[in-house]
Amino acid sequence: GEDASSERSPEESPEKKDGLAQIAPDLTVIQFIKVFPRVMLRTLRHPIFLLVVLSQVCMSSMVAGMATFLPKFLERQFSVTASYANLLIGCLTIPLAIVGIVVGGILVKRLRLGPMHCGTLCLLGALFCLLLSTPLFFMGCSTHQIAGINHQPGLHGALLLPVFYTNCSCVVGGGPVPAGSCDSACSHLVLPFMILVSLGAALASVTHTPSFMLILRGVKKEDKTLAVGIQFMLLRVLAWMPSPVIHGSAIDTTCVYWAQSCGRRAVCHYYDHDLLRNRFIGLQFFFKTGSLACFALILAILRQQDKEEGTKATIPNSGLQQQLLASGAKKEPEESRV
């Protein structure tokens, strides 16, 4: 018995070493630290996992930028109040995004979607989300005409202040003059704009559950927990942290007039609305396109894997048929002899 166990131990040692990288509950802290880089590298080298995470990074970057700056965008673009902008987001965008997540989960469960169908569902959701964002480039208001201001981003505030009050006239009839900018003539477009944004958010949310299932079904069973942890770590680092900075920098480049405080640039009073709309929606369009490209690559890889599995399945069957034919040919001479 001892000899047998000693003979088996060299053969089992590679499996145990590999098991250290796979079975985390049986590891000590030191053992886990030693094998963690190897397991992480193995997980990141998985093509499906890597592409799904990249697609989710693109989607999360879009959501992070929208959640941070959409209220401000609506205020500046359509001249609506902050309370009304947040009301539209709370009543339309967030509920439809929740509905999209639920619908995606129901489709995966009820239809028992496999990896191929999950990839197809993600691709369709990202595609229609991208298509719905195209009309947003043309739905907006033009920049307010202010006397003496040319719509050139980067103008210094000192050059603008003397021309704010040119060609003034008295108010006829003694009516009141409210403070602030003039009302926009296209504020009615804010509701159709928000409907398209909310529908796009719902379609993007449909991809949440099937993309998560692609990760769980793609990686090895023993690597699933670590894969989910790496996924959320990358989402925080690559999407939720840099995306608001990128969107904020893009919005600042569209400013027409910067207020000055103690000789330093403070807040932006006026934006070039066309430039603001093109850059804000353009960033959203860029991230949606990246997500769509990742899902297209995932679907191509899944189809290639299915073809390879199909060829592997046909080769043993053809070999079995040849063996049966050969055995049948041998039996025929024996029967003729009898």
pLDDT tens for 9-46 read: 444 444 444 544 444 556 777 887 888 888 888 888 89
Establish how many alpha carbons lie within 13 A of residue 12's alpha carbon, considering only the half-sphere containing its beta carbon: 6
Q: Is residue 40 one of the residues assigned to a domain?
A: no
Q: Residues in the chain, how many? A: 338
CATH at residue 219 = 1.20.1250.20
pLDDT band (50, 70, 90) for residue 223: confident
Domain-located, residue 324: no
Q: What is the pLDDT of residue 308?
A: 85
Q: Does residue 181 lie in a domain region?
A: no
- The pLDDT, as a whole number, for residue 8 is 45
Give the best-scoring range by mean pLDDT among 20-24, 42-46, 156-160, 279-283. 279-283
In a domain, 197, yes or no: yes
If one compares 261 and 23, the residue with the highest pLDDT of the two is 261
Tally of CB atoms within 10 A around 162: 9
Q: Say if 75 falls within a structural domain.
A: yes
For residue 41, being part of any structural domain is answered with: no
* Helices 190-206, 115-133: crossing angle, 10 deg rounding: 170
How many independent structural domains does the chain possess? 1
| Helix%, strand%, coil% for the chain, nearest 5 | 75, 5, 20
Say if 81 falls within a structural domain: yes
Let me know if residue 79 belongs to a domain.
yes
Tell me, what's the pLDDT at 10?
Answer: 45
Average pLDDT value over all residues in the chain? 82
* pLDDT winner (highest mean) among 98-112, 144-158, 162-176, 179-193: 98-112
The C-alpha angle with vertex 232 and arms to 15 and 72, in degrees rounded to 5, equals 170
* Identity of residue 119: G
Instruction: Kindly tell me if the per-residue pLDDT of 162 is higher than 90.
Output: no
Question: Could you tell me the residue range of the domain that residue 122 belongs to?
Answer: 47-143+188-239+276-306
Residue 163 pLDDT more than 70? Answer: no
- pLDDT, tens digit, for every residue of 112-144? 999 999 999 999 999 999 999 999 999 988 886
Q: What percent of the chain has pLDDT over 90?
A: 53
